[in-house]
């Protein structure tokens, strides 16, 4: 009798295990491929463990402007842009926690525009549904995601089950199998030249104090995580012609300085000093085009070496 009970329990557990494996495989097969525009987790996880000198977090202001390959060609520093579309400060925090499972960077760069994003920016599903399933993704679902999206973030099939008619065998197989590394390392080139940039710069409205303070609190959590791990946190604004008011940057500089041990670089008004022209080098007011991003990244490689001490002595 006992043997029969144990046998039934064993078969039940085996059935549950197989069901979970099949559900997991179906989830990966039906999820759309994602190789650009941020949230490129599968390619990131294909990188050699502990091979990155730095990581870059942020929104499209990061993944359209930073070419890690160009940074490395200029400076020898190896890094990855783990940004996402309109990635909020809260999502960046959970991204970093997940990144540190496989990488031990010396520095983490946080593109600061998200300090004046709204709490939810409309791309939560993309940013979180492509994270590896685990405690960080679950925690993110309950702390930085809209309540109506939580089910899909916790169970991929909720978002993607209806794609079974359109997914071909090759795409499904690529979804199931491990992804290869990407030479772009999170960079998405933006081809084109913006019009009417002779009227730049353009002013972006800052968020209300209550929203800003929440974002600042998430930045503080990210900074604290970096310090616990022996990582230098760097808050940076890129040279852009979509700018916050000058007094807003001044306030951010003061608030970041109060965190202690954080490097802060405001390049938002440094385009001409860096050699960027609003008439030729911008895809739009907020993003560099592909050629300018390559040149800015080479400039940034030297800047990292000279201004971030932990990167200055990397061999």
Residue 10: band (very low, low, confident or very high) from pLDDT cuts 50, 70, 90: low
Instruction: Please give the mean pLDDT across all residues of the chain.
Output: 90
More confident residue, 67 or 278: 67
288-312 pLDDT, tens per residue? 999 999 999 999 999 999 999 999 9
Nearest by Cα to 222 from 257, 268, 255, 262:
262
187-204 pLDDT, tens per residue? 999 999 998 888 878 889
Residue 23 has pLDDT above 60, yes or no: no
Average pLDDT of the segment spanning 72-83? 98
Average pLDDT of the segment spanning 26-38? 75
Residue 178: band (very low, low, confident or very high) from pLDDT cuts 50, 70, 90: confident
Contacts of 159 by beta carbon, 8 Å cutoff, 6+ apart: 31, 125, 129, 152
Q: What would you measure as the largest C-alpha separation in the chain, in angstroms?
A: 85
More confident residue, 200 or 74: 74
Q: What does the pLDDT read at residue 12? A: 62
CATH number of 35-153+180-312: 3.40.50.1110
End-to-end CA distance of the chain: 67
Nearest by Cα to 66 from 293, 239, 298:
293
Q: What does the pLDDT read at residue 21? A: 53
Q: What b/e readout covers 258-289, taking b as 16+ CB neighbours within 10 angstroms? A: ebeebbbbbbbeebeebebebeebbbbbbbbb
Count the helix, strand and coil residues of the chain and give each as a percent rounded to the nearest 5.
50, 10, 40
117-174 pLDDT, tens per residue? 999 999 999 999 999 999 999 999 999 999 999 999 999 876 776 776 677 767 756 6
172 SS3 class: helix
More confident residue, 143 or 28: 143
Q: What does the pLDDT read at residue 167? A: 73
Nearest by Cα to 284 from 201, 195, 199, 203:
195
Average pLDDT of the segment spanning 97-123? 97
């Amino acid at each position: 009798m006992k043997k029969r009970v144990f046998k039934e329990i064993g078969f039940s557990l085996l059935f549950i295990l197989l069901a979970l494996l099949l559900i997991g495989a179906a989830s990966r097969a039906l999820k759309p491929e994602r190789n650009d525009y941020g949230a490129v987790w599968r390619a990131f996880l294909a990188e050699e463990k502990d091979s990155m000198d730095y990581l870059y977090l942020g929104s499209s202001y990061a993944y359209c402007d930073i070419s890690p390959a160009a940074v490395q060609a200029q400076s020898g520093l190896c890094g990855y842009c783990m940004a996402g579309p309109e990635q909020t400060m809260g999502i960046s925090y959970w991204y970093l926690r997940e990144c540190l499972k496989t990488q031990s960077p010396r520095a983490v760069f946080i593109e600061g525009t998200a300090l004046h994003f709204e709490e939810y920016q409309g791309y939560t599903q993309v940013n979180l549904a492509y994270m590896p399933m685990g405690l960080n993704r679950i925690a993110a679902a309950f702390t930085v995601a809209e309540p109506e999206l939580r089910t899909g973030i916790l169970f991929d099939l909720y978002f993607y089950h209806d794609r079974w008619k359109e997914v071909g065998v090759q795409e499904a197989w690529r979804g199931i199998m491990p992804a290869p590394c990407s030479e772009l390392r999170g960079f998405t080139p933006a081809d084109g030249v913006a019009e009417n940039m002779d009227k730049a710069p353009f002013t972006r409205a800052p968020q209300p104090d209550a929203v800003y303070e929440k974002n600042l609190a998430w930045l503080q959590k990210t900074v604290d995580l970096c310090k616990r791990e022996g990582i230098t946190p760097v808050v940076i604004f890129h040279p852009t012609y979509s700018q916050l008011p000058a007094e807003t940057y001044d306030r951010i500089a003061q608030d970041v300085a109060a965190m202690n041990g954080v490097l802060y670089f405001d390049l938002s008004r440094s385009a001409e000093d860096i050699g960027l022209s609003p008439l030729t080098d911008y895809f739009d007011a907020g993003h560099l085009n592909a050629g300018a991003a390559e040149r800015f990244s080479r400039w940034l490689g030297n800047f990292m070496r000279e201004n971030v001490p932990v990167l200055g002595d990397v061999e």
